[in-house]
Amino acid sequence: MQSLALIENWPVPSAAAGVVRADGTVAGTRGPVTQRFPLASVTKPLAAYAALVAYEEGAVELDEPAGPEGATVRHLLAHTSGLAFDEHRVMAPPGERRLYSNAGFEVLGDHIAKATDIPFAEYLRQAVLEPLGMTGTSLEGSPAKDGVSTVEDLLRFAAEVQAPRLLDARTVLEAMSVVHPGLSGILPGYGHQKPNDWGLGFEIRDSKSPHWTGSSSSPRTFGHFGQSGTFLWIDPDAQAACVALSDRAFGPWAVEAWPPFTDAVLAELRAGAR
């Protein structure tokens, strides 16, 4: 895909990108796809997928108590537990505000580790990484932000989400559907969004503006970006997913570069589908 060559113009030391279709075929890659990059918050979709495996295995229930008083596993996954961004401090009652929370994912990881009697990083490896052949991926700390992976591995993960084998397709559909619709909140790096829609561990684009995806991205697009200069989006309407990893922290360069990159990728996919 020629559109992927746009990463070569990004002001970063190193970048890699790839696109995988819903049928699992890789449409194209660019850059060092086996290089391991820190994921920052792109760790969260991986952690969420492991949590959903734990749910399907019966280790946890989505609506069982977890985290602050009145909160559940579902609240933690959807950033509605009321926990602060990076502190284990309650800022609001569960379900009332969309407070993006690293702390919430750390509580989630601890909850699953206790329920399964397996350290969360090891559970993630056994439940998601190993079955998908993601040998270049590891969790080296917080389930909110300390994953390390490659484009090659994340394309495997994106293929799985589009055509699930580890989870029931109905569970994945729930994960990419809005939890607690209508809640507003801060999308890190992009300011206040009303509504600020999320599923279970995945951010949902809907009509958010500004946004890190493209102007031609469908409202059903879901995924995550990371402060380390990384993103993964899945656009069900385009029947494709895109991963881009870099080694420069998110900032104005990414705000400027990512949306036209995504629009170029989508335009090439649509042209190829004609």
Report the share of the chain in percent with pLDDT over 70: 99
User: Does residue 274 carry a pLDDT above 90?
Assistant: no
pLDDT tens for each residue of 209-250? 999 999 999 999 999 999 999 999 999 999 999 999 999 999
pLDDT digits over 131-189, tens only? 999 999 999 999 999 999 999 999 999 999 999 999 999 999 999 999 999 999 999 89
Looking at residue 272, its pLDDT comes to 81
For the stretch 74-88, pLDDT in tens is 999 999 999 999 988
pLDDT of 273 > 80? The answer is no
Backbone φ and ψ of 103, nearest 5°: -60, -40
**Across 3-19, average pLDDT:** 98
- Under the banding of pLDDT at 50, 70 and 90, the label for residue 203 is very high
Residue 267 has which token pair? 């335009």
pTM of the complete model = 0.97
Pick the CATH number of 2-273 from 3.40.605.10, 2.60.40.1180, 3.30.360.10, 3.40.710.10: 3.40.710.10
Calculate the average pLDDT of the chain. Answer: 96
